[in-house]
Amino acid sequence: MFQVGQEIIAIRTHIQNYFKKGDIFLVKGVRDCGCSCNDFLVDIGYRIKDNYQTCGKCHELFFHRDNIGWVGNKYFVPVEEGFAEMVLEELRVGEKELIRR
Ligand SMILES: [Zn+2]
Protein backbone atom coordinates (compact mmCIF):
# COMPACT_ATOMS: atom_id res chain seq x y z
CA MET A 1 0.00 0.00 0.00
CA PHE A 2 1.25 3.51 -0.81
CA GLN A 3 1.66 6.20 1.84
CA VAL A 4 0.05 9.65 1.70
CA GLY A 5 2.69 12.08 0.43
CA GLN A 6 4.64 9.37 -1.41
CA GLU A 7 5.76 10.09 -4.97
CA ILE A 8 4.42 7.61 -7.51
CA ILE A 9 4.83 7.35 -11.27
CA ALA A 10 2.31 6.04 -13.80
CA ILE A 11 3.68 2.96 -15.57
CA ARG A 12 0.83 2.93 -18.07
CA THR A 13 -1.67 5.44 -19.47
CA HIS A 14 -5.07 5.44 -17.74
CA ILE A 15 -7.87 3.76 -19.69
CA GLN A 16 -9.96 6.98 -19.49
CA ASN A 17 -6.95 9.26 -19.95
CA TYR A 18 -6.89 10.65 -16.39
CA PHE A 19 -3.10 10.64 -16.85
CA LYS A 20 -0.35 9.37 -19.10
CA LYS A 21 2.46 6.92 -18.63
CA GLY A 22 5.38 8.71 -16.98
CA ASP A 23 3.23 11.23 -15.07
CA ILE A 24 4.31 11.70 -11.47
CA PHE A 25 1.90 12.30 -8.58
CA LEU A 26 1.92 12.78 -4.85
CA VAL A 27 -0.42 10.33 -3.12
CA LYS A 28 -3.26 12.37 -1.57
CA GLY A 29 -5.17 9.45 -0.14
CA VAL A 30 -5.51 5.69 -0.14
CA ARG A 31 -8.56 3.48 0.44
CA ASP A 32 -9.75 -0.07 0.03
CA CYS A 33 -12.16 -0.35 -2.85
CA GLY A 34 -14.39 -2.51 -0.66
CA CYS A 35 -15.28 -4.94 -3.43
CA SER A 36 -14.51 -8.62 -3.72
CA CYS A 37 -11.07 -8.23 -5.29
CA ASN A 38 -9.76 -6.43 -2.18
CA ASP A 39 -7.71 -3.99 -4.21
CA PHE A 40 -6.68 -0.59 -2.93
CA LEU A 41 -7.20 2.72 -4.68
CA VAL A 42 -5.19 5.90 -4.87
CA ASP A 43 -6.27 9.55 -4.85
CA ILE A 44 -3.93 11.47 -7.16
CA GLY A 45 -6.00 14.67 -7.14
CA TYR A 46 -8.38 13.74 -9.94
CA ARG A 47 -11.98 14.85 -9.23
CA ILE A 48 -15.23 13.57 -10.74
CA LYS A 49 -18.91 14.50 -10.38
CA ASP A 50 -20.30 10.99 -9.93
CA ASN A 51 -20.31 9.35 -6.54
CA TYR A 52 -19.79 5.87 -7.83
CA GLN A 53 -17.10 4.18 -9.90
CA THR A 54 -16.42 0.78 -11.33
CA CYS A 55 -13.49 -1.14 -9.93
CA GLY A 56 -10.92 -1.47 -12.72
CA LYS A 57 -9.98 -4.93 -11.53
CA CYS A 58 -13.23 -6.83 -10.77
CA HIS A 59 -15.67 -4.33 -12.39
CA GLU A 60 -17.92 -4.14 -9.32
CA LEU A 61 -19.48 -0.77 -8.56
CA PHE A 62 -18.39 1.02 -5.43
CA PHE A 63 -19.80 4.20 -3.95
CA HIS A 64 -18.29 7.22 -2.28
CA ARG A 65 -19.25 10.81 -1.52
CA ASP A 66 -15.94 12.54 -1.86
CA ASN A 67 -15.90 13.33 -5.63
CA ILE A 68 -12.46 11.80 -5.82
CA GLY A 69 -11.60 10.01 -9.04
CA TRP A 70 -10.12 6.97 -7.31
CA VAL A 71 -7.59 5.09 -9.40
CA GLY A 72 -6.45 1.49 -9.12
CA ASN A 73 -2.92 1.03 -7.77
CA LYS A 74 -1.97 -1.18 -10.74
CA TYR A 75 -1.13 1.98 -12.69
CA PHE A 76 1.60 3.12 -10.33
CA VAL A 77 4.88 2.23 -8.75
CA PRO A 78 6.93 4.34 -6.34
CA VAL A 79 9.03 6.83 -8.33
CA GLU A 80 12.39 5.23 -7.55
CA GLU A 81 11.18 1.85 -8.82
CA GLY A 82 9.63 3.48 -11.90
CA PHE A 83 12.89 5.11 -12.90
CA ALA A 84 14.79 1.88 -12.42
CA GLU A 85 12.27 0.10 -14.61
CA MET A 86 12.49 2.73 -17.35
CA VAL A 87 16.28 2.66 -17.37
CA LEU A 88 16.16 -1.13 -17.72
CA GLU A 89 13.72 -0.76 -20.60
CA GLU A 90 16.06 1.70 -22.33
CA LEU A 91 18.99 -0.66 -21.85
CA ARG A 92 16.99 -3.48 -23.43
CA VAL A 93 16.09 -1.28 -26.41
CA GLY A 94 19.78 -0.31 -26.71
CA GLU A 95 20.79 -3.97 -26.74
CA LYS A 96 18.33 -4.76 -29.50
CA GLU A 97 19.76 -1.92 -31.61
CA LEU A 98 23.27 -3.21 -31.06
CA ILE A 99 22.26 -6.70 -32.16
CA ARG A 100 20.62 -5.32 -35.29
CA ARG A 101 23.83 -3.60 -36.44
ZN1 LIG B 1 -12.59 -4.73 -7.26
Provide the whole-model pTM: 0.77
Domain ranges for the chain = 7-100
Local confidence pLDDT in tens for the 101 residues of the chain: 899 999 999 999 998 889 999 999 999 999 988 888 888 999 999 999 988 888 888 888 888 888 999 999 999 999 988 777 777 788 888 888 777 76
Ligand 1 centroid – CA 53 distance (Å): 10
End-to-end C-alpha distance for the chain, whole angstroms: 44
Find the 75 Cα to ligand 1 centroid distance in Å.
Answer: 14
Ligand 1 center to 30 CA (angstroms)? 14
Q: Which residues contact 22 (CB under 8 A, 6 or more apart)?
A: 9, 10, 86
